[in-house]
Structure 1
Amino acid sequence: MSDRDDEVFGGCLVTAPVVLGIETSCDETGIGIVRGTTLLADAVASSAPEHERFGGVVPEIASRAHTEALVPVLHRACDEAGVRLGDIDAVAVTAGPGLVGSLLVGVAAAKALGLALQRPVLGVNHLACHVAVDRLAHGPLPQPALALLVSGGHSSVLLVDDITHAVTPLGATIDDAAGEAFDKVARLLGLPFPGGPHLDAAALDGAVTIEFPRGLTAAHDMREHRYDFSFSGLKTAVARWVEGQQAAGNQIAVAEVAASFQEAVVDVLVTKTLLAAREHG
């Protein structure tokens, strides 16, 4: 295969399609361009600074930011890839899951491009795409493959037989996602937004000294929610612990709380993922 990802079928040279992808599921506007499995461009604009004073992503602000950023990001991606819009063979766009207003901006842009260019528009699940992007760096996935997705809005375990049409959800969060819990606990500890990276940095300086609960790991929970996650109770437990320390007049050991909280989250994620891997080959 050449650097253009061209292939020979039936004695004919077939050029790999150039696909433009639009991602607007949350607060980042992303446009990528690939030729076959070769990444040509990856341009991103983030509205995170606009959400900082609110301590979390505000959907209305995010959708407006997507509207303002899409055209500049599109131009950057095309320039980086060295392609014109007329070179695009298809347009892919995140159709879900995500913030409704943000998704609508991306889908509207994709439909407009498809109509103007007379190209097909393909709606994709961005969780499956988190897995598919690994192909760009490491080639085809082993079959079957198990994927653990951990983000601000989602915590999922997926069984992947074929990334294009055979992705089976094995488990997911039944309340807060791990990333959401990270952000909320970080806010509770007075750490800046986005909370996840700051909490992780604080945890590096702390020891695991507090025993926080591991959600959905009791025997009766494992029967009904074998591969599912729950971080709402953990988040509440941290809040109650902090309130108790404050009521007693004690200084909050932020690093120790961060390390103990992070240990509880990672413990559950790793334990359930390894269980799924053992039971699904």
Structure 2
Amino acid sequence: MTSFRTVSAGGLEVFYREAGKPGAPKLLLLGGFPSSSHQFRNLMPALADRFHLVAIDYPGSGNTELPDPANWEYTFDHLAEIVDETLLAIDFTGPMGLYMQDHGGPVGNRLISLHRDWFQWQIIQNANIYEEGLTELWDGLRNGLGVGRSTEPPIDVLLEPETVQAIYVTGHPDPAKISPDNWNLDLHFLTRPNARTAQLELFHDYRTNIAMYPAWQARLRRDQPKTLICWGQRDIFFTPAGGEAYLCELPDAKLVRLDSGHFALEDCLQQIADEISTFYDEVVKS
């Protein structure tokens, strides 16, 4: 059964989900835009008999406190600091595995830089660290990245209801299998005071992630972490080439090409859960 908790970390009340038994192998779940730990609501019970799992809502997303952007810096560095302090506060530290999706990639890679000894294996699900992994959608976004701080088009279109829905259904072979509760919940959170500004600030900060791609690639080549890649092939944000590119640094990684989009857990849940369990048994434990 999943538990729903809050803890004080970095001066904020941070919400997280927890499942599985303490003492089991740990797996940290880091998700992405425009969702929250809600995206792991089905994966956690599916893996709870094997792992001790935690999924955290970042500031600005989900049920975590949403500080005023006028007084709180919404950057990926800052998100990683909050996640780090949360893990320390709840005594969820390494060794562990790391599941990264979308924004979970930039946050997770920063955490790895802080705690190389914590993270011993990883699952990459549409978490990009390659220029060739950026879809054409980013061509327009690049025009806005870094030129201002909150409302320049085309970035703000990402927060419109039609776009939030499109992020969930684009590339999925049967959109009827994707619950509208997903985007309706995200849109609810986006109506909170300062929520849109917080997300726009993070998109403007995304350029710092792109600048760090070469360093993250170099670390993969050096450390050779045990890696499972589960990649939705028709993601609105990230191309199939982004998933393939990991094999240049990690030739022993396993790549699973999913018939899905950005939020592959919505229609490939059992396949991903089975791949994680098998990968742990055959690769991580061996």
Q: Structure 1 length as normaliser, TM-score?
A: 0.28
Larger radius of gyration: 1
Structure with more strand by fraction: 1
